[in-house]
Each structure stands twice: as C-alpha cells, then as structure tokens.
Amino acid sequence: MDSIRILGGNQLRGQIKISGSKNSSLPIMISSLLTDQELVLDNIPNLTDIETLVLILKDLGADINYSIPKRKSSLSTTSDRIMHIKFKNIISNQANYEHLSKMRAGFLVIGPLLARTGYAKVSMPGGCAIGTRPVDMHLMGLKKLGADIKIEKGYVIAEAKNGLVGNKIHLSKPSVGATQNLIMAASLAKGESIILNASIEPETMDLIACIRKMGVDIDVHGDNVQIQGTINIKGASYEIMSDRIEAGTYAIAGCMTGGRIELTNFDPHLLESPFEILRNIGCSIKLFNRRIVIEKVVKDFEPAKITTEPYPGFPTDLQAQFMALLTQASGKSIINERIFENRFMHVQELVRMGAKINLDGDKATIIGKTELIGAPVMATDLRASVSLVLAALSAKGETIINRVYHLDRGFEDLEKKILNCGGIIERIQENKYEVI
Ligand code: UD1
C-alpha cells in the first residue's frame, strides 16, 4: 500500500485551484438514473470515489465517456474533463457489496433506481468509519413513497410495482444522504412530495439545481424541500460546484505553516462559518470573486470553540483539520462533534505527533501551543487523513502517512497542489523507501 512522506517546516505560498466537489459529484452522477437521456457534467474531480461510482453505474447499465474542454491552463487539474453519462436502458437492478463497501454514497442509487424501474436491490453501505451511520431515514422515506422494503443478507430490497407516489416525509435529522436519495426518488414519483427537516447543505442544493435543469420542479423553503414528481425527466448539462472542504483544508495549510495561499475557482460564501473562526484566531482572509487570499497575521493563534452542525453551521468534514490547526493556538480550544459519534480517530495520531488533546464523549479539548514532531501515522477516514497532512506540513522533521487510499478518495492532485506551493511531499510506492 502506498504512503506519503512529508518533510515539515516549509511555508506554503502560492495559488491553488479548487477542484470540483466530491460530495456534489456523487449524487449528481447518480441522478443520471432518472432519465434515458444524456447528463453532461463539468468539473467532476478525478478521485477514486468517483471511479468506484463509475463502476457501480456501469454495472447498472450506464454508458460513461469523457471529453476534454478547450480551456487548459497551467493551473488546470486532472479533473479538467467533461463526463457524459447516459442510462439508455437499465441492465441490472442490483448494486453489489464489492463496490458499496468502499463508498457509502453508492447507496443513493436505491432511490432513483427504484423510482425508474420499480425494483432495486442494493448492498448496505460502507465508507469512512466515523460512526454507525445507519440508513433508517433513507428507508423510512422510501416506504412513505410507497415502497416495500426488506433486508436480506446485507442487502436492501426495495419494491414498488406500481411506481412511487408523492408524500410528506419528516426526517428526524437533516441527513444529507437521506435528503438526496429521497429528492431523486420523489422526482419520478406520482404527484407532490415534501421533505421536512431536509439537509440544505450546498451539495444538496447543487443536486437540486441539476435536477431542476433536468426538468423537475423543486422548491426549497427554509429546510423544507417540495418536489413535483414527473415522468418527463430529460438530459442536461451541469457544472459541479467547487469543493468547500478542499478549499477549507488548503486555507488551513496556508495559515498553519505561516504562509500565504490564494484559492481560485471557489465561491467564498460556502465557507462563512469556518472563515469566521479563522479570522477570530488571527488570519486575514481577503475575498474576491471566486478567489480568496488567506494568511496568518498574528505571531500565535488565539484558541477557539467549535461545534459541528448542519449547514450553515460549522461542517463536520473540516473538524479534523481545525483540530490540527488548534494545536498551534496558545491556550485551550474546544471542539464539540455533534454530527457523527465516532469522529475523533485522528486524535490519537495527532497526540503521537506531540499534540495535547483530551477526549470526553463528543468533546475534545486541545491544549496549545505544542510543537509537532514528525512521526509515522495512519488514519481511518478521509478527513482525518488530511488533518495529518496538515500537522505534518507544520511539524518538525519527517512524517510518513500510511493508508493513502483515504486521501485518494477525496483530494485530487494533493501532492501536486502542495508541491506547487513549496511544501515537501512525495508518494512512496510500496517497497520503495529512500531518503528525501
Ligand atoms: C454526508 C457526506 C459526509 C458528511 C456528512 C455530514 C457525502 C458523500 N458524504 O454523509 O462527507 O460528513 O454528510 O455533513 O456527501 N443518520 C441516521 N440515519 C440515516 C442517515 C443518517 O441516523 O438514515 C445519521 C448519521 O449516522 C449521522 C447523521 O445522521 O450521525 C448525519 O449523516 P448524513 O447527513 O446522512 O451523512 P452522509 O450523507 O452519510
């Protein structure tokens, strides 16, 4: 298995083009199941999660091709390609464990597949180990739309012989995945559906914008989503939003190493809550149109209190990265994790690098400032892995990060982007250890 070696201590200075959002791309690719016409998607990132989903969709009958746009620049990323997906026919109604064990978002095929064909057999999902992550709300919502649901040998079997029928669905939590799944299913259901207490995360709004372009009438009032189902769903062209988690991560990398990073291809309004914290602890953030310049402007960061919440609150997907940053703040910082019950797997690894962090249930107390020292580390999930990259970039000496496949799932061109800004980072292929 590959690993990544980082020699810490260099300031990160330069420009980084933010890639397309992984968490937007996945449901939007899946929405191609709603029509037999072509969906043309721009700004899809080049990530292993995307490749896994391509395999899942191909198994179901998708024809997927790429074209290259004529806009290459020196800052272009490998995602500078356009994806064409077409489900002329559905050739299988089953999504297998082999792929779904690697990526939870694949489970979202169940809603549109059921809505289009009346039957779907989908493996219970895997993905990052950050909690039990049930799918009860997905299934409750599909039942409300008229589906019969059975669970057999790790698979969910959903059936609606006479098609789905619109209904009112009240989610007990604003689950991102359940909202997206049910919006897709309701788009092909007969009549109107309303999802109450829905996720209004930017990635859900991106999915809604794409499905609207495909011809479905969807209104959002506060956290209620109203969908007028139709059988006339057509193809569309759509540009995926940029990745707010990637942008937030590189913003921290610039600040944490005392450098200066310019983020391009990104709408700063998507990160208001994390940027407010960065400003409060001592960073300057200058906002331009789809461009942000960010740098540390104090000698030592101030501590902070952070609670993860649904959008527009602080995103759980930036919690681990902020924890790495707050090890460099003078004083006591507190992070409350309110979305996932097991999302502190990075703490032990940060502690091995010299951080002082105490855990008490869903609360982490970070005592700073502590000097971070490079070490061999590994992480069990995507965002935790990148928090170790941040810690390593500002640590003294060399850090080896194992289980790189987590990073490859969610961060496009990670090494290239960091190298371009002056960081020292390299991938070590298995069995190839040499000194930097
Ligand atoms: C999505 C994101 C993930 C992000 C998370 C929260 C993708 C591919 N992943 O994950 O990066 O961290 O939103 O912003 O977009 N829950 C239930 N029952 C359900 C569904 C969820 O109890 O049926 C719980 C979960 O265990 C969790 C909470 O609801 O505690 C939020 O989960 P959810 O919003 O569904 O996250 P995902 O869609 O899995």
SS3 13: strand
* Alpha-carbon torsion (66, 127, 33, 87), positive or negative: positive
Cα(358) to centroid of ligand 1, in Å? Answer: 25
Give every CB contact of residue 98 below 8 A, 6+ residues apart in sequence: none
C-alpha to C-alpha distances, 234 to 87, 179, 227, nearest whole angstrom: 11, 21, 16
Q: What is the pLDDT along the chain (436 residues), one digit of tens a residue?
A: 789 999 999 999 999 999 999 999 999 999 999 999 999 999 999 999 999 999 999 999 999 999 988 765 544 455 678 999 999 999 999 999 889 888 889 999 999 999 999 999 999 886 545 456 789 999 999 999 999 999 998 899 999 999 999 999 999 999 999 999 999 999 999 999 999 999 999 999 999 999 999 999 999 999 999 999 999 999 999 999 999 999 999 999 999 999 999 999 999 999 999 999 999 999 999 998 888 999 999 999 999 999 999 999 999 999 999 999 999 999 999 999 999 987 898 999 999 999 999 999 999 999 999 999 999 998 778 888 999 999 999 999 999 998 888 899 999 999 999 999 999 999 998 765 544 4
CATH 3.65.10.10 correct for 22-239? yes
Instruction: Kindly give the number of the ligand 1 atom that is closest to the alpha carbon of 199.
Output: 34
Cα(234) to centroid of ligand 1, in Å? Answer: 29
| Active-site position among 128, 210, 283, 421 | 128
Alpha helices (H) along 167-318: 176-187, 202-213, 244-256, 272-281
Q: Which pLDDT value is given to residue 132?
A: 60
CA distance 313 to 352: 30
CA distance 28 to 238: 9
Residues of each domain in the chain carrying CATH 3.65.10.10:
3-18+243-428, 22-239
- CB-defined site of ligand 1, < 6 Å: 23, 26, 104-105, 131, 133-138, 173, 175-178, 203, 316-317, 339-340
421 is catalytic: no
Q: Which pLDDT value is given to residue 425?
A: 97
Q: Which pLDDT value is given to residue 78?
A: 55
Q: Which pLDDT value is given to residue 131?
A: 53
Q: Which pLDDT value is given to residue 9?
A: 94
Instruction: Kindly give the number of the ligand 1 atom that is closest to the alpha carbon of 203.
Output: 15
- Which of 30, 173, 207 to probe ligand 1 with, by most ligand atoms within 8 A of CB? 173
Q: Are strands 398-402 and 376-378 parallel, antiparallel or unpaired?
A: parallel
CATH code matching the domain that covers 3-18+243-428, chosen among 3.40.630.30, 3.65.10.10, 3.30.420.40, 3.40.50.2020:
3.65.10.10
| Residue 22 assigned ligand-binding role | yes
